[in-house]
Copies of this chain bind each other. A is one copy, B any other.
Amino acid sequence: MANLTIRDIARLAGVSTTAVSFVLNDKPGVSDETRIRVKEIIASTGFTPNVHTRRLNLGRSFTIHVVLYWHTHPIFNQFALEIMYGIFASCKKLGYSVMFTFIDRSWDVTQLMESIHSKDCDGLILSQVEDPSFISLLQQESIPFVCVDSHVKKNSSLPLVEVDYYQASYDATLYLANMGHTDIGYIGSSTPHELHEATFNGYIDAMRDKGLACNPAWIGGIEFSASAAGDFFNSLVDGRFHVPSAFFCTGDAFSVDLLHAAKAHGYNIPEDLSIVSVDNILVSRYVDPPLTTMSFDKEALGAKAVDVLHSMINGEDFPMTTLIKPVILERSSVKKLN
């Protein structure tokens, strides 16, 4: 019951601790007879080897540390839990424990770095973490890590697992065009990140491939806030600009806000304005009308990140960029024209 050690098992079985260790780790050097006897004693006593000793000996913690960016507005934290579930599921299979840390804007790197230096994990998964100084610290000290769903600049040496936003953007725009829309606007984050540029390019490329013109007035480069999309729409209407028949938004959080603003202006959705976005956050299913969106497997984001990290930790080859493909999920925010 209470605090057994490998020595107790050894004594009960009449063997050395080495023999017990061999049995525990399925190593050769023990006769079948002894092996069975030791196993029986382990089973009957319920002995489980102390994990800290094991970690100390092996110089590995068998733990993955998940660092999550905590957004002030809950709508931006939407799929962190699903990513964590995917991480956990994959870690469970591979025998890793999972620990986590939240960080936010006003965050001090030292406590986390100390924890890493103390060897508390074999590697890290950074979810939506963009802090370049932290990332370069990890790189300098060659600590294995993977960025997941992180809007960081892709540099050749940054392992990423993320949604294929170019594809999402391209497919969504194509979808709107195929539904008969020709006046298609774009609302997305304007911070100069490669990811945002890729997303924008998806829109541009789809418009070009369909022979449609992009009206600069319909392109909303906005900041990452819960009201920016609505503000953009308001400025469009207030400025008496012609409003396009459809908008592609780079995230459901933007769509939800756009929907709200448009309805406030008396627009009926989708009769007067069609909306497509990306993410399929839970909210998008429950707004009125439910949003058509590019959906993807959020758990896979986490699971893939673990797989990549596992390869890094073991010194195996790994893909520098892993893309999760989104697919269109048709609901009721798009009107078919003609």
Kindly provide the distance from the CB of A218 to the nearest chain B CB, expressed in whole angstroms: 24
In the complex, the answer to whether A119 meets B287 with C-beta atoms within 8 Å is no
Asked whether, in the complex, the Cβ of A119 is within 8 Å of the Cβ of B50, the reply is yes
Q: How far is the CA of A190 from the CA of B205 in the complex (A)?
A: 54
**Given the complex of chains A and B, what is the CA–CA distance between A249 and B224 in angstroms?**
34
Q: How large is the interface on A (under 10, 10 to 19, 20 to 34, 35 or more residues)?
A: 35 or more
Report how many copies the assembly holds: 2
Q: Contact check: which of B46, B54, B99 meets A63 at CB < 8 Å?
A: B99
CB < 8 Å neighbour of A51 from B75, B120, B283, B286? B120
A85 CA to B68 CA, complexed, in Å: 10
Question: What 1/0 mask marks residues of chain A from 261 to 301 whose CB sits below 8 Å from any chain B CB?
Answer: 00000000000000000000011001110000000000000
A95 to chain B: closest residue by CB: B111
**In contact, A48 and B98 (Cβ under 8 angstroms):** no
- Closest chain B CB from A142 CB (angstroms): 10
A53 contacts the other chain (CB 8 A): yes
When distances are taken between beta carbons in the complex, the residues of chain B under 8 Å from A111 are 92
Whether a CB of chain B sits under 8 angstroms from the CB of A77 is: yes
Chain B proximity mask over A247-260: 1 for CB below 8 Å, otherwise 0: 00000000010001
Q: Which of B56, B74, B99 is A52 in contact with, Cβ under 8 Å?
A: B56
Q: Chain B contacts of A75 at CB under 8 A?
A: 282
Also in contact, A88 and B102, with CB within 8 A (given A117-B48, A286-B287): yes
A153, CB-defined interface residue at 8 Å: no
Per-residue CB proximity of A96-120 to B under 8 Å, as 1/0?
0111111000000001001101111
Q: How far is the CA of A74 from the CA of B101 in the complex (A)?
A: 23
> Contacts of A97 on B, CB cut-off 8 Å?
99, 115, 120
Contact bitstring A72-88, B, C-beta under 8 A = 1, else 0: 00110110111011001
Most buried by B among A1, A256, A286: A286
Q: B residues within 8 A CB of A49?
A: 118
**A102 touching B85, Cβ below 8 Å:** yes
A114 contacts which chain B residues (CB < 8 A)? 48
A131→B236 CA distance, assembly (Å): 54
Whether A17 sits at the interface, judged by CB under 8 Å, is no
> Measured between alpha carbons, how far is A271 from B213 in the docked complex, in Å?
45
Query: A50-B56, A51-B118, A260-B286 provided; 12 other pairs, C-beta below 8 A?
Result: A46-B117, A48-B118, A51-B115, A75-B282, A88-B101, A88-B102, A92-B111, A97-B120, A282-B282, A283-B283, A283-B286, A286-B287
Using a CB–CB cutoff of 8 Å, the interface residues on chain A facing chain B are: 1, 46, 48-56, 61, 63, 70, 74-75, 77-78, 80-82, 84-85, 88-89, 92, 97-102, 111, 114-115, 117-120, 141, 256, 260, 282-283, 286-288
